[in-house]
Amino acid sequence: MPEKYTYRMVDLARWVTSIVAIPPRVRQSVVNVVADAVAAAAAGSRLLGSTAAQRAALSFWGYGSSSIWFTGQKAPPQAATFANAMSTSILDIDDGHRAATGHPGSAIVTAVLAFGEDIMASDDQIITAIAIGYETGIRYSACRNIREIDTAATGRWCGVGVVAAVGWLNGDDVITIAHAMAIAGAIAPHNMASEGSGVGHDIKEAIPFGAADGYMSLASARAGMTGPLDILDRECFNENVLTGGDGETWYIETTYFKLYSCCRWIHAPIDAVLKIGEEFSDWAAVKEILVETFQATMRLPNQPRPGSLQAAQYSSQFCIAAAAIHGARCLQPLSESLLTDDKVLTLAAKINLRVDQELDKAFPRNVPGRVTVRTIGEPIVVEVATPRGETSNPLSWDEHMQKLWTLAMPALGRDRTLELEEALVSLSKNRDFKLLFNFLSASDRKILL
């Protein structure tokens, strides 16, 4: 390697190409994120934003050999990734990671499965590529100062993880991957409306666009295009986080999983209000619900009367009120009927948000919340330090499968959901993707162009 290649991005690419296999214990973490992504996509694939992405993918990229999940249609890998990433992320019930402050699975899992299907990669190659994509994308995001960036949108960084995963799977060399990652970092969606827009929309964190940019960046680098290799060679990026992994621990092992179809920053207060609801039910008598949280939560639109499901996903007041009135199932996932539910809207109007300095100190390592319900009697106070699904409060495999059934059965029906569960159990036990690929390539409905 010429001496001039001393950039951090090249060091990161060297690490990517150095990986031969991952530790055996990490493989189950890969299975977990695949199962979670497929469950989220099963529920999300029929929403208007997802069907629009499916049509757009075929219209722009044409047909190929990678499955657009649940449709029976096949497209080039970047097209399938774009469509499937939208299906996986649209309900905001896909996985996430504390260090990245974002959602790796909807980009990395969809990209690797699409490219792996296209080149008929081995099961071990697919598993390893997913772990590499998570590791690289999360390192890239986590090396930033999360408190100082203008948006936490996943589209800003997920393309870098896609480059690493697909580049490794394709056998690309160090310099090609380095330039491709630099290009992906440079052209990532700016996404001005990620957290500031008051209009619910399908772009959200621009994950499908960032993931598709990963493919474009790789194609450009393979053709000889150069990227800004020094993009991370500044003091504001933490070099130890970016290139200082110990080789033993992998970020994918600390992925969190979501039980509610809304921003993760709202989950601890939801858990708290559900705990309160175990012994309290007279929500009509509530005078005020005070939600104490961290500063980042205040950047969400937080509309008490959201006009769409997408806006509802970013409304602390609405989601907490819905959980109080109807329980957890109404957020698994959110439904259009809740938007006009008078009881939910009345309670949401009584919810106030406030930053608590001690809770704010925990972010982004944790996303705690405290809820105080005030009625004519003594206030009821519950604090949740760690919402369900975090590494320190994890889901079991049975709970992953329960999430699958909750999300998939309304869309796929009992028999197809059972078939999907069997494919995922086979993946968990045998590390075999064959049944899953067969399932995802089958048609539950056609794309109407």
Whether 432 has a pLDDT exceeding 50, the answer reads yes
Q: In angstroms, rounded to a whole number, what is the distance separating the alpha carbons of residues 253 and 182?
A: 26
List the one residue out of 437, 411, 412 whose CA is nearest residue 423: 437
Domains of the chain with bracketed CATH? 8-254 (1.10.4100.10), 264-384 (3.30.1330.120)
Q: In angstroms, rounded to a whole number, what is the distance separating the alpha carbons of residues 72 and 440?
A: 8
Which residues are registered as beta bridge partners of 67? Answer: 74
Whether 325 has a pLDDT exceeding 80, the answer reads yes
Least confident of 41-55, 149-163, 180-194: 180-194
Q: In angstroms, rounded to a whole number, what is the distance separating the alpha carbons of residues 260 and 97?
A: 15
Q: Look at residue 1 in the predicted model and tell me its pLDDT.
A: 47
The model's confidence at residue 443, banded by pLDDT at 50, 70 and 90, is: confident
Q: What is the CA radius of gyration of the chain?
A: 21
Q: In angstroms, rounded to a whole number, what is the distance separating the alpha carbons of residues 135 and 19?
A: 11
Q: How far is CA 362 from CA 104, 367, 383, in A?
A: 22, 7, 13
The string of pLDDT tens digits covering residues 104-149 is: 999 999 999 999 999 999 999 999 999 999 999 999 999 888 777 7
The model's confidence at residue 239, banded by pLDDT at 50, 70 and 90, is: confident
pTM of the predicted protein model: 0.94
The string of pLDDT tens digits covering residues 71-103 is: 999 999 999 999 999 999 999 999 999 999 899
Long-range contacts of 298-304 (CB under 8 A, 24+ apart): 298/353, 298/355, 299/195, 299/196, 300/195, 300/263, 300/265, 300/266, 301/195, 301/196, 301/197, 301/198, 302/353, 303/198, 304/345, 304/348, 304/349, 304/351
Q: Under a CB-based contact definition with an 8 Å cutoff, are residues 107 and 161 in contact?
A: yes
Number of neighbours of residue 378 by Cβ within 10 angstroms? 8
Least confident of 1-15, 203-217, 286-300: 1-15
Q: In angstroms, rounded to a whole number, what is the distance separating the alpha carbons of residues 118 and 112?
A: 10
The H or E element spanning position 174 is helix 174-187
| Mean pLDDT value across residues 379-390 | 97
List the one residue out of 441, 399, 446 whose CA is nearest residue 423: 441
| Mean pLDDT value across residues 380-408 | 97
- Give the E-state strand segments of 294-413 in sequence order: 351-355, 369-374, 380-384
Q: What is the DSSP string of 204-219?
A: TT-HHHHHHHHHHHHH
- Between vectors from CA 27 to CA 26 and to CA 29, what angle results, nearest 5°? 70
Q: In angstroms, rounded to a whole number, what is the distance separating the alpha carbons of residues 243 and 285?
A: 55
Q: Look at residue 290 in the predicted model and tell me its pLDDT.
A: 99
Return mean pLDDT, the chain: 94
Whether 195 has a pLDDT exceeding 70, the answer reads no
Whether 265 has a pLDDT exceeding 70, the answer reads yes
Which residues are registered as beta bridge partners of 443? Answer: 71
Tokens for 119? 């080149």
Please state the φ and ψ torsions of residue 289, each to the nearest 5 degrees. Answer: -120, 120
Q: How many residues does the chain have?
A: 449
Q: Under a CB-based contact definition with an 8 Å cutoff, are residues 233 and 8 in contact?
A: yes
User: At a CB cut-off of 8 Å and minimum separation 6, what does 73 contact?
Assistant: 54, 58, 63, 67, 443, 446, 447
The model's confidence at residue 449, banded by pLDDT at 50, 70 and 90, is: low
Q: In angstroms, rounded to a whole number, what is the distance separating the alpha carbons of residues 71 and 238?
A: 42
